[in-house]
Chain A
């Protein structure tokens, strides 16, 4: 009898639909096993998964960005998100020219009385006024600009902090990595919005800068972990090894080779963080921790300040709230579809 020996698997055949069931995808298992660890482990895992996903895709070069773009172009979710975001940015840029009135001018102050604190919609003022007699529509239009600024600056602040920590940890490794990641992990283990509230409460005089700072700080650990994960994944990749073999100095490797390749996950996370920042800014305003100066309107601030009138004149809260919801949805849709397009798992 022939010995049933180890026959080599004849040829590496291409996977056909027949093998989709049979091939075992290691990721779900790995994810479950990864549950061992510190408190914020699951949060970390999700970030790490994103870091790896983006890295793998960018490592294979432009073609994967192209394939991602090909998928996105036909993805209605992405297109809806992109249209919303584009419109929002356009309005924010063109706000001064689009707004029919000066958002600071108290045109309708004559109609504000203790009995009727909110002026009704009227010709020239389709959405009516606020409790200071200012045109609602103009304030919404101009408010888009400040909302965008708060969102973008908070995201950039978080990214900058995360970049420093993540590059330190992922680029240098060793004990620096250990210490930085310990700090990051503890930050991740504190409920983030509660931390934003606490940071904002530190300042005796809140302003838009304290809002931006508070929101930026809570994003730092997320970006730090993301960048570190992405760099760790690249450390043993061919292009980094090649650069090292060629004698390229470490900082050059980190900044010229590793960082650019971490762009994918950073863009995804940044898009999602933008949505969260805008919502969180509203929450801070609602608690009285936002910018008290309403001469430059911002949606979160408008919504926060509308709380006193909600039961009597709900519309003055609904308008800014709808703006926030639509824009946050736009960024979320874009971010989620980007994440999926860059995820090698969903591409197979």
Chain B
């Protein structure tokens, strides 16, 4: 088990190294290079030359890469030149990170709660009305652009019917204490029930929109896995043992069918991060997705740099965790 984790960690480190090289290359291939990216429209030839020297852009490339790495490790990614002008780029990430985690968590929660039971029952009644219906639903779900779904939800539930707030993470002016910046968690910890309810209400629509991505995938993987597993000899053995339907379902079918689901959830984190960029923009939800969307629009490269790096880091770490979880549920991996 320990060897497995160490090997995984090493692989993650290698991926991270390659990523840093890619990111460095990305920064260097920016139109006009890093200098004009950092200076933006304000740059004069003099200030550009000064910055070039200051950044050491005349040094050999490996030296520059090493310096880039040194700064990155120290958390120095430069200063925002977009809407957060003057703010260190890393701060943009740290302030907004909890919001996106909160959003993604609820999105995954919604997706799993509905997709797994639906996938199971669709597989059991293969070809039935529920099965056909949910397969079609999941295919349509894949075809709907996430931001359009977000707009439809926002239009219907917030603008039209006024049931839920249309944007933001919390109603302006509500009295809430922030400790971790996970608003729901904060409010629960401080027992500010109004604030918790308010934060939850702000989460419903964006989380629902975002959940459409993992929902379709998890549903289809669960369904396929259950269909596969039901044909397995050990399920027949379980039936031959006269076990109750519940034991067969839980211990023999689902415990095996969920293994591919766990890994697919890990992979969905990537799609979820990209989806968060779109969803958070629609709902003006102050997470890293929105910052990325604004960054892309204003070409705020210092902020983009740190956010992309962190997004990739999150992706790698989550997949590392998923692999460890995988080893826990599938004993064969531990060898």
A residues apposed to B, CB below 8 Å: 20-22, 24-25, 28, 31-33, 35-36, 38-40, 42-43, 186, 189-194, 197-198, 200-204, 275, 279, 282-283, 286-289, 303, 307, 310-311, 314, 317, 321, 324-326, 328-329, 332-333, 336
Are B259 and A279 within 8 A (Cβ)? no
Nearest chain B CB to A72 CB, angstrom units:
17
Most A Cβ at <10 Å: residue of B142, B259, B263: B142
Q: Does B139 contact A (CB under 8 A)?
A: yes
Binary flags per residue of B271-301, CB closer than 8 Å to A gives 1, else 0: 1011101100110000000001100110100
Would you list which residues of chain B between 26 and 63 have a CB under 8 Å from chain A? 26, 29-32
Subset of 30 A-B contacts with CB under 8 Å? A21-B231, A32-B332, A36-B333, A39-B12, A42-B266, A186-B19, A186-B22, A189-B315, A192-B271, A193-B271, A194-B270, A194-B273, A198-B26, A200-B296, A204-B32, A275-B142, A282-B148, A283-B274, A286-B145, A286-B278, A286-B281, A288-B296, A289-B296, A307-B147, A314-B152, A325-B143, A328-B142, A329-B143, A333-B139, A336-B139
Residue of B18, B266, B270 near A186 (CB, 8 A) is B18
Q: Which residue of B lies closest to A276 (CB)?
A: B142
Are A202 and B30 within 8 A (Cβ)? yes
Residue of B18, B275, B304 near A198 (CB, 8 A) is B304
Nearest chain A CB to B123 CB, angstrom units:
14
Nearest chain A CB to B62 CB, angstrom units:
20
Are A28 and B228 within 8 A (Cβ)? yes
Q: Which residues of A contact B308 (CB under 8 A)?
A: 194, 198
Q: Does B1 contact A (CB under 8 A)?
A: no
A38 to B12, alpha carbons, bound, how many Å? 8
Q: Which residues of B contact A288 (CB under 8 A)?
A: 296-297
> What 3 pairs across the A-B complex have the smallest Cβ distances?
A191-B270, A193-B274, A328-B143
* Contact A317:B148 (CB < 8 A) given known A38-B15, A191-B271, A333-B139: yes
Are A43 and B267 within 8 A (Cβ)? yes
* Contact A287:B148 (CB < 8 A) given known A25-B231, A33-B332: no
A189 to B269, alpha carbons, bound, how many Å? 11
Nearest chain A CB to B159 CB, angstrom units:
5
* Contact A39:B145 (CB < 8 A) given known A186-B18, A202-B31, A329-B139: no
A286 to B296, alpha carbons, bound, how many Å? 11
A278 to B58, alpha carbons, bound, how many Å? 42
Classify the secondary structure of B's interface with A: helix
Are B151 and A317 within 8 A (Cβ)? yes
For chain B, the bracket of interface size reads 35 or more
Q: Assuming A22-B233, A38-B15, what are 6 further A-B pairs, CB within 8 angstroms?
A: A191-B270, A194-B270, A201-B299, A202-B31, A282-B145, A324-B143
Are A42 and B231 within 8 A (Cβ)? no
Are B296 and A201 within 8 A (Cβ)? yes
Q: Does B330 contact A (CB under 8 A)?
A: yes
Residue of B144, B159, B166, B315 near A191 (CB, 8 A) is B315
A250 to B1, alpha carbons, bound, how many Å? 44
A204 to B19, alpha carbons, bound, how many Å? 23
* Contact A31:B260 (CB < 8 A) given known A191-B315, A332-B142: yes
Q: Which residue of B lies closest to A304 (CB)?
A: B147
Q: Which residues of A contact B154 (CB under 8 A)?
A: 310-311
